[in-house]
């Protein structure tokens, strides 16, 4: 079994799918590992480190995919990489895919080339949580606040508003939409800096849990800065009108994110407000959002600053790469050792969780909400139908 990883080409994507330690573990388990030359440089891992851990280094990604059985990546293949998938027919791709949030061409290429595509973001554990999405979501939650603070300062010329209380300058009012990993981390970060934070989630149970958890985390003084509430009546509209920073963190696993903030609500916000839509990987949850990049991170609508970078953790690449490999490595070992069909069969017959990670298989889209979002239900079959 040959496991390979290649250099990411997305704008300023500095992460890599395997650390040297991950390579060492896979080689020790009896697998051949190929790493594209310079793939780890952006995360601070040299080619010599990979070689010392047993990796075979190759220069050309076309040559790599021809001999690899499993290709492990960080981000979804870009159009410039579709030719690689055509040379990877019938093999296994393990990466973040976010198919509902990207052009349907990728789904078609995966299906046409009979690629077994396993998406990090839809793999579930026995409790139904998303263990391969969680580490990057927590990083993104912190970065969302950092980006928000940066663009608030730029918009206000470095004066008038800040995320914390500094020299009498009023602290920002922050609205977070969504109480998952991203939203909870963003709320902790912003409130911990002194901002006044309101987090909205449609689940009363989730709000109660977050009020307890985050207030205990922040302590009695900073805890007063935070409140988790269910949107009812005008409470959401009023919070948006008062907000300096809006963070979109809505996630419905595998499905295009619902738009939960309308154009009229954006218009009602203060001029100079900053909007960070972390849900952009799945299409965005705020009206007006469109994907930006690290090199061109923002745009403005109605004098509101939008920041919608789909690969935020790429900016803190070393710690993100380490966290990602730590989470994915146990799954990668099992896929290589047991074979994906056995894992799928055991999963469907048992708790059904790993099978939720499968997005394309045997020429079909296997995640129903992806097929619906992309208008590809004629090319959908469930995992149970295919194994």
Active site amino acids: 98, 281
CA-closest candidate to residue 214, choices 124, 201, 242: 201
User: Can you tell me whether residue 157 is helix, strand or coil?
Assistant: coil
Do 305 and 273 contact (CB within 8 A), yes or no? yes
Mark 20-32 as b/e (b = at least 16 C-beta within 10 Å).
bebbbbbbeeebb
Residue 295, token pair as written in the block: 């090199």
Cα–Cα dist 314/296, whole Å: 14
Do 303 and 269 contact (CB within 8 A), yes or no? no
129 CB burial (10 A radius; 0-12, 13-18, 19+)? middle
CA-closest candidate to residue 4, choices 78, 81, 79, 58: 58
Residue 71, token pair as written in the block: 């290709």
Do 309 and 293 contact (CB within 8 A), yes or no? yes
Do 277 and 289 contact (CB within 8 A), yes or no? yes
Residue 219, token pair as written in the block: 């302590």
Longest dimension (CA), the chain: 64
Q: Which ranges constitute the DSSP H helices of 339-367?
A: 340-349
Q: What is the dihedral of CA 94, 29, 329, 381, to 10 degrees?
A: 30
**29: Cβ contacts below 8 Å, ≥ 6 apart:** 333, 336, 337
């Amino acid at each position: 079994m040959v496991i390979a990883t290649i250099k990411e080409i997305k704008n300023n994507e500095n992460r890599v799918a395997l650390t040297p330690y991950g390579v060492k573990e896979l080689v020790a388990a009896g697998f051949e590992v190929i790493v594209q030359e310079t793939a780890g440089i952006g995360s601070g891992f040299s080619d010599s480190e990979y070689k010392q851990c047993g990796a075979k280094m190759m220069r050309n990604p076309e040559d790599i995919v021809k001999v690899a059985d499993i290709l492990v990546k960080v981000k979804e293949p870009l159009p410039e990489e579709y030719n690689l998938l055509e040379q990877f027919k019938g093999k296994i791709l393990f990466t973040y895919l976010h198919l509902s949030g990207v052009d349907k061409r990728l789904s078609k290429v995966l299906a046409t080339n009979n690629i077994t595509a396993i998406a990090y973001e839809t793999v579930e554990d026995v409790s139904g949580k998303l263990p391969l999405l969680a580490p990057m979501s927590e990083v993104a939650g912190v970065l969302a606040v950092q980006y928000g603070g940066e663009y608030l300062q730029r918009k206000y010329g470095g004066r008038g508003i800040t995320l914390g209380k500094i020299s009498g300058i009023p602290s920002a009012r922050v609205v977070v939409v969504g109480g998952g990993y991203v939203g909870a981390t963003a709320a902790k970060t912003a409130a911990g800096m002194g901002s006044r934070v309101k987090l909205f989630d449609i689940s009363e149970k989730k709000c109660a849990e977050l009020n307890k958890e985050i207030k205990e985390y922040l302590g009695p003084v900073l805890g007063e800065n935070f409140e988790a509430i269910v949107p009812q009546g005008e409470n959401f509209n009023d919070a948006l009108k008062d907000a300096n920073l809006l963070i979109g963190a809505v996630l419905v696993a595998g499905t295009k994110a619902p738009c939960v903030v309308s154009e009229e609500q954006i218009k009602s916000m203060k001029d100079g407000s900053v909007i960070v839509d972390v849900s952009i990987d799945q299409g965005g949850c705020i009206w007006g959002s469109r994907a930006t990049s690290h090199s061109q991170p923002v745009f403005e609508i109605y004098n509101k600053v939008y920041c919608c970078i789909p690969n935020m953790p790429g900016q803190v690449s070393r710690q993100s790469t380490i966290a990602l490999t730590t989470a994915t490595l146990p799954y990668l070992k099992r896929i290589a050792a047991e074979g994906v069909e056995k894992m799928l069969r055991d999963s469907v017959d048992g708790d059904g969780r790993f099978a939720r990670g499968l997005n394309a298989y045997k020429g079909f889209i296997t995640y129903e909400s992806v097929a619906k979002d992309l208008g590809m239900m004629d090319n959908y079959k469930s995992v149970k139908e295919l194994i």
